Amino acid sequence: MQVVFCDRDGVINEFPGNGNYVTRVKDFHFVPGSLEALRLLTEQGYTIFVVSNQAGVGKGIYSQDKLNRITRYMLKHVEKEKGKIKKVFYCTHRSDHGCDCRKPKIGSIIKGLQIVNKKFHHARKTFFVGDTVSDIMAGHRAGCKTIFVLSGRETRQSIRKWPIKPDYIAKDLLAASKIIENENSNHSCLSRRRSHQSR
């Protein structure tokens, strides 16, 4: 089972700005190429999960109902373009809540792996695509290969201050999907060579 975890804001949709949240459907705008990327990953057989911190709900900035509307809008357009997101995991808690689902903690990633019946220690065969240090830390802690995209909150220069580094850097989700495709192709070729050598 091939799995890709994606952050939402700054990866699938345009980043609303530091300290801001996407609170209405009309403010949700897909990053150019992200719908194509999700379609390509779906066609390649990847199970896709979204893992996103949405503390604006916990802070009372917008309601759970509005978040649900935005999610339905996102899923509708992803499916319209022949992509498929298996499940969306949101952490709506404030940062001081102490939950295990707020990135960089990995509670939501573990839940996703459980859905596809994938063991935690096999997570290295999965990918986490994000635009912040908390995304990369979460992916790293879960054993995923990490891809930092430049379409969101942080820049290439930000990485210098991070305690860990991403495995890859990509312009956006579409570029990240090409990296994932190449990784999968290389792994398949290696597996075939090993199988041939063992005969």
Is residue 195 pLDDT above 90, yes or no? Answer: no
Return the CATH class of domain 2-197. alpha beta
Sequence ranges of the domains in the chain: 2-197
Strands 168-170 and 87-91: unpaired
What counts of helices (H) and strands (E) characterise the chain?
Answer: 5, 6
157-170 residue pLDDT tens: 999 999 999 999 99
Whole-model pTM over 0.85: yes
DSSP structure string for 104-148: TS-HHHHHHHHHTT--GGGGGGSEEEESSHHHHHHHHHTT-EEEE
DSSP-assigned states of every residue in 46-66 = EEEEEEEE-TTTTTTSS-HHH
Amino acid at 141: R
3-state secondary structure of 7: coil
For the record, the structure tokens of 1 come out as: 């089972």
Report pLDDT digits (tens) over 143-153: 999 999 999 99
86-99 residue pLDDT tens: 999 999 998 888 89
Residue positions annotated with a catalytic role? 7, 9
| 73 or 120, greater pLDDT | 73
